[in-house]
Chains A and B, each alone.
Chain A
Amino acid sequence: MIFSLAVYSAPYTSQASYTAYQFAKALLGQGHQLHRVFFYQDGVHNATGLAVPPQDEFDLHIAWQTLAKTHNLDLVVCIAAALKRGVIDAREAKRYNKASHNLTDGFSVSGLGQLIEAAAISDRLISFG
């Protein structure tokens, strides 16, 4: 079965992002296909490369990256939601003349159309948060 996930909550405050990660791992482990993970609203904070969680806590940012690398996942961040929350890639940083950028490798920015395309392509779209 083809799945896509939508993540709407920031990591740490809510457990939703972590649950989405676990769900992704579980479905891949059972041989299903994960078409895309789309991060919207506060979910875009999953994609910052500047988060430093305490050493004795689970590092969700690294976990997403590792999972994406292992399974060649499409992790997409909503560009409008990301820009207004200060999650920005090198290209957008240049365009808006910002001093720095922080989008983690393994994530890409795109529009809401990618969420809709995921809903259209997938047998199941599961929302978290």
Chain B
Amino acid sequence: MRKKILFVSRRAPYGSSTARDAIDVALAASVYDQDIGYLFMDDGIFQLLKSQQSQGIDQKNISATLGAFALYDIENIYVHEESLKERGISIDELIFDNLQVLNNKSVTMLLNEQDQLMSF
């Protein structure tokens, strides 16, 4: 059964495994032919920054892992506008050229469209 599943990733890329664990679930979901969206909000938007140098803490670069989304046909990628503003980050500092920037109201609508939400 194909369902609309939205992943909501709200944690910073390093310091906890949660951001990476969420990506693993999304990649698995794409293999199972589900209709997937991926929303970055709160500290989750730090995952999208270009030029991460994670080798300094012996971690894999999470932005490189996110690059696999295209290979897995995860194309609906959203970023929360207010989270960007609160952190002083602009869209051109982020990886992905197909990011959809959503404000609070649009995020609410997006959440309401889903069959399942997976929040990490």
A-side residues, CB < 8 A to B, are: 6, 8, 40-41, 80-81, 111-113, 115-117, 119-122, 125, 127
Contacts and interface: CB of A to CB of B under 8 A. Distances in A.
Task: Decide if the interface of chain B is mainly helix, strand, loop or mixed.
Answer: mixed
Given A41-B17, A41-B18, A116 B28 contact: yes
B28 A115 contact: yes
B21 A117 contact: no
Interface residues of B, number: 19
Interface string B98-120: 00000000000000000110111
A111 B21 contact: no
A111 B25 CA distance: 10
A125 B119 CA distance: 11
A116 B34 contact: yes
Interface stretch (B1-9, B51-59, B74-82): B1-9
Kindly list the 9 A-B residue pairs having the minimum CB-CB distance in the complex, ordered from nearest: A112-B28, A116-B32, A119-B116, A116-B29, A120-B1, A125-B116, A120-B3, A116-B28, A41-B21
Contact of A119 (B5, B21, B31): B5
A32 B11 CA distance: 33
B21 A120 contact: no
B73 interface: no
B7 to A, nearest CB: 11
